[in-house]
Structure 1
Amino acid sequence: MTRLSLLACAAMAPLALATPALADDAADATPVSELIVTGEIAFRDRTETVAPALSYGLEYFQRFEPLTAGDAMKRVPSVAFLSDVLESDGARLRGLDPGYTQILINGERVPGAGLDRSFFVDRIPAELIERIEVVRSASANRSGDAVAGALNIVLRDSQTLDGGYLRAGAILLNDGRVRETLGGVWSGQAGPGRLLVGASIQGRRNPKEKTSWRYDEPGGALDNIEVQSDTRNGTDYTFNAAYEVQVGGGDLELSGLFVRTDRFADEDSWEYQDGNIRNRDLSVTNDNNVDITTDNWSLNGKFTREMFGGKTRLKAGYAVFNDQQDEIEEEYEYLRDSNPFPEDDRFTGDLTHSRLKDKELSLAIEHERELGFATVEFGVQFVDKNRDTDITTDRTRVTIPNPPAARPTLPGVYGPFLPVPGGVNKIEETRIDPYLMFSGGQDALKWEAGLRYETTSSKITDETAPAADRTVDKDYQFLLPSAHLRYNLSEDDRINASVARTVRRPGFGQISPAVLLAEMGDNDFVGNPDLKPETAWGLDLGYERRLGTRGVAGVNLFYRKVSDLIEVANTGVEGSEGEDTFLLTARNAGDGSVWGVELDLSTPLTMFGMEHTGVFLNYSWLDSDIDDPFGSRRFNDQSKYVFNVGFIQDLPTWGAAFGATYRKQGDAFGRIVGEEVTTSYGADLEVFVEKRFGQNFVLRLTGSNLLDAKKEETFNKFNTIEEQRSRDFDEYEVESEKAGPVFQLVGRYAF
């Protein structure tokens, strides 16, 4: 309750100093009933920003009832995922690793929990979203760590809604379980300002089945089959508030967000020898459970006032990510010898406690004013990050003797717990980023140009490293220019051109001094504190045409030239596993290129006399090239394409509507030392049917994963670098994962 109290206090604090709001403050707010009980089809919005961006409002996604921001992002151009079936966590804009994509909330960067600084978008419930923007190229007034681009999640605020709604429903899973979904939002006048509050409880469940076939090599003998049951079950709790008021001669905006994820992952597996799924060939059973509690919360404030001949903005934010995971993995080996279980067989148990707390303070001062020929904007942004990680584990290993004839009682108590290599560390990072940006134009031409100078000072202290190498200090400085041009060829046609330099800082694990044993196959890995960040020059060229009054069609070409790529290299030092294994590290290994074509269409079929039919289509063809120690390849795990198509048919006379979307993404290939993975996804089909009752209530039935989409992965595994070059396989594995359909019945009541 302490955090909820903080949010409430932050929202109400300015009341004592506030001046009455103008009567027309809410003039642009949309009545909730028009958004929630809608009888019109929503299409992709045409943005007026000079920097190339696509905007998709909540109504574009809402009828398919996405659970998270990730579920919504699946329908926008160029966004791919390599998550498990039915999950959308690390967004891969243009197919690149999540660390290349900048995730923004309300235009501001958010701290990510991953070692690569990435943020999992399934942490944000879809109920909080007003719109999602795909920002294809960087500008000087935003953080430059956006090589692939940025995805901006704009949350609802008090100025965009007027009224409230309640949402309640049930989700039916393929295993027969039913989970709940409850939520509500209200926005309106509160004292001298406007207030928005929202809360939700979202049941989450993802039952999957996996099967793995393991061979000596491709086309070789089948060694074993592993059958897995993997279920993730939990509940997400959210609370958000926003308050906007005129105070001190300016506009004050306060907002807070709290998300708790309470989840239990239960994975059980049975391994059978010689390709026979029968009891006498059962060789290994494994029970792997993870209890997860994750809290995200943030407080943000912005004060805008006319001063110093222009408009000045003061911003402050504080975000906390607190993740606790307790994982237990217990395994029985049944066929270690020729004697039947339990003679001379083995039990192994591992219990691991993982604690991660990430705190980030951000401050900014920005000023904007007119110069006559242009508008100038300048400012400085400050970020201070502190992350504490504590991962400890204990292993219990028992060899079952000859006899007993019955299953023995095994130890149920673990301990003492010792740190895993690299598992106890502290990360401190400070950024000070000034920028200067000009924008202007007249008639058909608009332009923007700017410079951003980013300075980063980081310090990693790893308690598991040798004392002499325990602390790593690293400083970076970058000059990041950007320029954008928009030219209207006519009232309906326009072109955009952009050039920008962006950066990707090394992941924390890539510069950590800890030695990770057998991290890549049988090879060890140690971070390289001398790594330079990757930088990229990017070009975007796009054409967009308005179709009628509501339709939009566009095509965009993009190219990225990435320098100082970070790749795995061999130090030549023998690894802990002995002969033919090595200590590996990360190094800057030359350049790489990324390019592609992005098409999107969103329009009613008015030209065919079907004004109540809307169609949506986007297709992104993606490619890249990079060299690693084994030759040329694409960027790791970049899908070859992403394709979405769908329609919505409104039936105004009946107060009803229905629609469907179909999604497919291409294969992805990734190669590191010791392992090569090819990932393929089946197609995904989603449908909805809705019925509106009056102006205030809508009942909607949705079905997702109706094609029982599969995820298939093939793994080429090698023990050493030389064996990987000579294709001397340690193991060749084919894994298939599938999940069944998911149905939702949801009612929304607007008031």
Structure 2
Amino acid sequence: MKLALLLGAAVAPLLIGGAAAAQTQEAPATALEEVIVTGQPEMRNRTDDVVPTLSYDLEYFQRFEPLTVGDALKRVPSVTFLSDILEADGVRLRGIDPAYTQILIDGERVPGAGVDRSFFVDRIPAELIERVEVVRSSSANRSGDALAGAINIVLRDAYALEGGYVRAGALLFPNDDIGGTFGAVYGGQVGPGRLLVGASVQDRVNPKNKFSARFDEPGGTLDNTEVQTDVRAGTDYSFNAAYEVEVGGGTLDLSGVFVRTERLQDEDSIEYRGGRVQNADIVSINDNDVDIETDNLSLRARYEREMFGGETRFKLGFASISDNQFEFENEAEYLRDAIAYPDEDRFTADQTYTDIQDEEISGALEHKRDLSETMEIEFGVQYVGKERDTDISAPDRVRFNIPNAPAPRPAQPAFGPRSAVPGGLSTIEETRIDPYVMLSGDTGNMKWEAGLRYETTDTSIEDLTAPAGMRSIENDYAELLPSASLRIQLNETDRVILSAARTVRRPNFDQLSPAILEEERGDSDFVGNPDLAPETAWGADVGVERRLGARGVVGLNVFYRSISDLIEDTNTGREGSAGSGTFVYTVGNVGDGEVYGVEFDLSTPLDFIGMETTGVFLNASWLDSKIDDFIGERRFNSQSDYVLNVGFTHDIPTWQAAFGATYRKQGEAYSRVIAEEVYTRYGGDLEVFIEKQLWSNTVVRLTGTNLLDSSKDEEFNKFGNRDDQINRDFDEYELESESAGPVYQLVMRVAF
């Protein structure tokens, strides 16, 4: 019934909108471009950047009404995720771990809550962005920790709008919950400069059903099954502002964005013995909730003016992330005596409190000037000072038996005082000072750049949970990162882009800490290595691109990365806390690896066959890699072997309407670490939209997401230790499937 109401609301404007449109006044064109049916499909931009860069304006994504930047990125080449269904958080550019991808906001780094420094893009509402850039190679004037590439999220600036618009809508989630979404943006002249302000609030609900079957080994005896519901519900709030003004002969640009994510993750599961889903065979009932509040703040100031014979830039920035989480897990066990459910035999309760505060202060002094009519030099120094405080604590586990039930247990467990978990009470200070110099030129049909960047990193870690005498550690290193790119214009339609660069990946914070984590690798322990060096890579990209007609573009790119000093687990040889047969593992810079692939993208209107208002897009990436670990050769962990996006949009100008669809499929991923191996497979994802212009300044859209009820299927091979894994002596073999239903969204945008 709720879906029928949404469909009815969308179809009704198709019948009445034409007559109403003639009665309205024209709104400011810059605001209308954000909301109305364009009458022509939106294509990928063909940039003039020397470094290979794919650029997508918001209009490319907007018709499918993505809620987050992650939802938008699902449609660009070589972006994969290892997320739950309906989630898109850690970007895996070219399929490899999120730590290899640099996430930038307006060209500047942002801190993430994870120990691997990665930033979750589902924390940024899509409504904030002006465009998204996929930067495939590195330049000397940008941070070099972008081994796989960089995603630059460009927010609207003060010149983005003259006027404004309001966005309001409703969402129907798979569990029949209805949520809301609202946003407003305004831009215009304020005092001597221009101001842009925006705000948004949107509900998010992601209900999933999971089923697990556990065996003693592949093809073996079924031990138990688990039926689980996993509902993630919350609200995102955002506010952004930008002000640009002429000051002292130069331009001052001030900007800021604040995003708050409130989310409750509620997992409830029932485990059954022998695959018999009935009360008499209930093994346990588990209730696991995580209450999350995450704040992201980014403030930037930039001043540019002509001086010293060229253009000088001063930059100052502050970025922070505050991540607060409370998790509890209560489990009731049954079948420990002769009395079956509902009588309980043992109750266990755990709580964990997480408080992560990560702040970065950045600054830069940069200058560029002409050396000749065809050559330019740019040089500068960039600074980043990070302080990261981690406090993860938990009271002792509450566990008690209830023999010969129905002896009562308290409704609320009585927990004692909290104490830090191993590795959970630390302060990290990191200072980076990175000078660079870059030459660029434009001669005839060639445009090029070449540069050197020298990155210095001084890291200090104080971990109060580490053994005495090892609580304060230092880790300092420096890397020289050369880079070069060349763009050759072959003719009016074709060009070739060549790039080569050396990049770096810094160690995860938890890999540096000497705190001992018991039974972290199966039955074995783990301890960090304070002397880790970063991974480094030499990489190359070779691409060709052709313009199709007036607005279409097709491209093919081949990439290769040769990675040295890979960080992998190694055995210290010391016996683990679980006794004989277990060890203490650490990490070291061992071995090398390769990442390579082919990327194809097509985005064009079909005007060459007389269909000017129909646009098609297709991007497909074949991804592969190679690494040797303790068993043998494998791909980089969890790298999908391909990702495919295909879709179309069709405008009907006489009806002032449009519709379209997009389909996405991600290939199988495999991961192997000590004591566990995982295969992950995803189903296809289909999204559609239909839109109608009501008046000259108003458009309404109905979108449907996950229309194929996509699933995520995982296969877990679990072992007690490394030797068991090599000998294929299984501890457990598990098959898990997760699924979710469609999400429908009805949105109206009004310009003013």
TM-score range relative to shorter protein: over 0.9
| CA distances 1:535-586 after superposition (whole Å, capped 9, x unpaired) | 0000100000000000000000000000000111111111111111111111
1:350 & 1:669 partners in 2: Cα distance?
A: 31
Q: Which residue of 1 aligns with 2:30?
A: 31
CA distance in 2, matches of 1:404, 1:71: 49
Deviations 1:209-245 (A, max 9, x none): 0011000000000000001100011001100000000
Where does structure 1 lack aligned partners over 5 or more consecutive residues?
1-28
Counterpart in the other structure of 1:533: 534
Cα offset for 1:408? 2.8
SS at match of 1:467: coil
Q: Contact 1:547 / 1:553 at 8 angstroms: preserved in 2?
A: yes
The residue that corresponds to 1:486 in the other structure is 487
Query: SS at the partner of 1:509?
Result: helix
Alignment of 1:495-510 (within 5 A): 495-510=496-511
**Deviation for aligned residue 1:720:** 0.8
Shift of 1:90: 0.1
Aligned-residue offset at 1:42:
0.8
Corresponding letter in the other structure for 1:159: Y
Residue by residue, what CA displacement relative to the aligned partner does 1:315-353 show, whole Å, maximum 9, x if unpaired?
A: 000011111101010001112344445878211000111
Q: Which amino acid aligns with 2:613?
A: H
Distance in 2 separating the partners of 1:379 and 1:413: 58
Give the match's secondary structure for 2:202: strand
**Residues in 1 aligned to 2:659 and 2:380: alpha-carbon distance in whole angstroms:** 48
* Structure 2 residues without counterparts, runs of 5 or longer: 1-27
- State the one-letter code of the partner of 2:596: W
Say whether the 8 Å CA contact 1:136–1:150 is kept in structure 2: yes
Which aligned pairs between 1:632-671 and structure 2 lie closer than 5 A?
632-671=633-672
* Matches for 1:184-333 after TM superposition, within 5 Å: 184-333=184-333
Give the alignment of 1:561-710 within 5 angstroms: 561-710=562-711
Deviations 1:684-732 (A, max 9, x none): 0000000002220000000000000000010000011100000000000
SS at match of 1:635: coil
1:97 and 2:97 matched = yes
Match of 2:5 in 1: none
Question: What secondary structure does 1:104 align onto?
Answer: strand
Find the aligned partners of 1:313 and 1:375 in 2 and give their Cα distance: 15
Tell me how far apart the structure 1 counterparts of residues 637 and 470 of structure 2 sit (CA, whole Å).
Answer: 30
Q: 1:456 to 1:30 in 2, by over 3 A?
A: farther
In structure 2, what is the equivalent of residue 347 of structure 1?
347
Query: What is the CA-CA distance between 1:399 and the residue it aligns to?
Result: 2.8
Deviations 1:613-642 (A, max 9, x none): 000000000000000001000000000001
SS at match of 1:31: helix
Q: Which moved more, 1:711-720 or 1:329-338?
A: 329-338
Taking a change above 3 Å as real, the CA distance of residues 562 and 196 of structure 1, as seen in their structure-2 partners, is: same
The amino acid across from 2:724 in the alignment is E
Map of 1:381 onto structure 2: 382
Report how far residue 298 of structure 1 moved: 1.6
Equivalence for 1:457: 458
**In the comparison of the two structures, how many residue pairs are matched?**
723
Structure 1 residues 526 and 30: alpha-carbon distance in aligned structure 2, compared to 1, 3 A threshold: farther
User: Residue 14 of structure 2 corresponds to which residue in structure 1?
Assistant: none
Q: Which moved more, 1:407-416 or 1:717-726?
A: 407-416
Kept after mapping to 2: 8 A contact 1:465/1:515: yes
Aligned positions of 1:68-79 closer than 5 A: 68-79=68-79
Aligned to 1:127: 127
Counterpart-to-counterpart distance in 1, 2:398 and 2:510:
29
How far, CA to CA, are the matches of 2:86 and 2:740 in structure 1?
7
Match of 1:16 in 2: none
Contact 1:71 1:88 in 2 (8 A): yes
Letter matched to residue 584 of structure 1:
Y
**Structure 2 length-normalised TM:** 0.95
Q: Which amino acid aligns with 2:165?
A: Y
User: For the structure 1 residues 343 and 687, does the alpha-carbon distance in structure 2 shift closer, same or farther, using more than 3 Å as the test?
Assistant: closer
Higher RCO by CA contacts (8 Å cutoff, separation 6 or greater): 2
How many Å separate the matches in 2 of 1:375 and 1:430? 30
Cα RMSD of the aligned pairs, angstroms, is 1.2
- Is residue 549 of structure 1 aligned with residue 532 of structure 2? no
**Amino acid paired to 2:736:** E
| TM-score, structure 1 normalization | 0.95
Q: Distance in 2 between matches of 1:542 and 1:70?
A: 26
Q: Is the 8 A contact 2:211 2:227 kept in 1?
A: yes
Q: How does 1:113-192 map to 2 (within 5 A)?
A: 113-192=113-192
Task: Name the amino acid aligned to 1:374.
Answer: M
User: How many Å apart are 1:411 and its aligned residue?
Assistant: 4.5
Name 2:82's counterpart in structure 1: 82
Whether the 8 Å CA contact 1:357–1:388 is kept in 2: the answer is yes
Going from structure 1 to structure 2, the CA distance change for 1:440 and 1:633 (only over 3 Å counts) comes to same
Secondary structure of the structure 2 residue equivalent to 1:722: helix
Letter in 2 for 1:207: P
Amino acid at match of 1:77: P
- Preserved contact between residue 314 and residue 365 of structure 1 (Cα < 8 Å): yes
Contact 2:514 2:528 in 1 (8 A): yes
Partner-residue secondary structure (3-state), 1:469: coil
CA contact (8 A) 1:343 1:400 kept: no
CA contact 2:561–2:596 (8 Å) conserved in 1: yes
SS state at 1:175 partner: coil
Aligned amino acid, residue 83 of structure 1? S
Against the structure 1 CA distance between its residues 235 and 424, is the aligned structure 2 distance closer, same or farther, given a 3 Å change threshold?
same
In the aligned structure 2, how far is the partner of 1:324 from the partner of 1:576? 31
- Could you tell me how far apart the structure 2 residues matched to 1:636 and 1:747 are? 42
Question: How much does 1:409 deviate?
Answer: 2.5
State whether residues 279 and 341 of structure 2, in contact with CA within 8 Å, keep that contact through their aligned partners in structure 1.
Answer: no
Q: Report if the CA contact (8 A) 1:432-1:454 is conserved.
A: yes
Structure-2 separation of matches of 1:305 and 1:38: 39
Aligned residue for 1:418, secondary structure, equals strand
How far off is 1:520 after superposition? 1.6
CA contact (8 A) 1:333 1:345 kept: yes
Percent pairwise identity: 63
The structural deviation recorded for 1:406 is 4.6
**Is the contact made by 1:451 and 1:482 (CA closer than 8 Å) also made in structure 2?**
yes
For residue 66 of structure 1, what is the aligned residue in structure 2? Answer: 66
Deviation at 1:110, TM superposition (A): 1.1
User: What is the alpha-carbon distance in structure 2 between the residues aligned to residue 402 and residue 358 of structure 1?
Assistant: 47
Contact 1:292 1:324 in 2 (8 A): yes
What is the alpha-carbon distance in structure 2 between the residues aligned to residue 353 and residue 586 of structure 1?
A: 27
What does 1:722-737 align with in structure 2 at a 5 Å threshold? Answer: 722-737=723-738
Q: CA deviation at 1:174?
A: 1.0
Measured in 2, the distance between the counterparts of 1:628 and 1:211 equals 31
Letter in 1 for 2:422: P
Matches within 5 A, 1:34-53: 34-39=33-38, 40-53=40-53
Q: What is the CA-CA distance between 1:397 and the residue it aligns to?
A: 3.1
Output the amino acid matched with 1:574: E
The corresponding residue for 1:23 is: none
What code does the residue aligned with 2:217 have?
E
Equivalent AA in structure 2 for residue 38 of structure 1:
V
Q: Tell me the secondary structure at the aligned position of residue 34 of structure 2.
A: helix
What secondary structure is seen at the aligned counterpart in 2 of 1:220?
coil
Task: Assess, with a 3 A threshold, how the Cα gap between structure 1 residues 651 and 391 changes in structure 2: closer, same or farther.
Answer: same
> By how many angstroms is 1:588 displaced?
1.1
- Take 2:398 and 2:257, find their aligned partners in 1: how far apart are those partners? 44
Contact 2:245 2:252 in 1 (8 A): yes
SS of structure 2 residue aligned to 1:723: helix
The alpha carbon displacement at 1:682 in A equals 0.1
Partners of 2:211 and 2:424 in 1: CA distance: 31
